[in-house]
Amino acid sequence: MFAVILAVGLILTINLSTRIAEGRPLLDAYEEVRREIAELEDEQARLTAERDYALNDHYVEEWARGRGKMVRAGEKLIIPVPSASTVIATPAPIEVGVFDPGYDQPDNWELWWSLFFDSPPPDLGS
């Protein structure tokens, strides 16, 4: 009788330890999902607060005065200009050729060639 009780106890112990071992990955996955849900809820709260602020009149006025460069009636917009010592020299303008039908104009492919390569276009015997 003692051997039967010992055998049944051993079988129950093995069965219980197997179930516990099988449940660990599920518990890890459950914790991972709970962590992800918490992160997503935080992000949702942040985005909702940002949306509510963007719909607020204070945000609209802040944007209009800052990035929109808008002023109210009676106000003047002042934009600071850097001093001469901090101004970066602007490059000389590039002269653009004017179409003159008296001269031979390059073909379109020759213009594209000169845009992409530093060498003159190849002579195709024309």
| pLDDT, tens digit, 9 for 90 and up, residues 41-68 | 999 999 999 999 888 888 888 888 888 8
* Amino acid 64: pLDDT: 83
Task: Give residue 37's pLDDT.
Answer: 97
Buried/exposed 78-117: b ≥16 CB within 10 Å, e otherwise:
eeeeeeeeeeeeeeeeeeeeeeeeeeeeeeeeeeeeeeee
pLDDT given for residue 35 in this prediction: 96
Specify the pLDDT at position 87.
55
- Quick one: pLDDT at residue 46? 96
d(CA 104, CA 115): 19
Whole-number pLDDT of residue 95: 59
Residue 62: strand, helix, or coil: helix
| pLDDT less than 50: residues of the chain | none
Among 23, 5, 1, which Cα is nearest to 13's?
5
pLDDT for the residue numbered 67: 80
Q: What is the pLDDT of residue 54?
A: 87
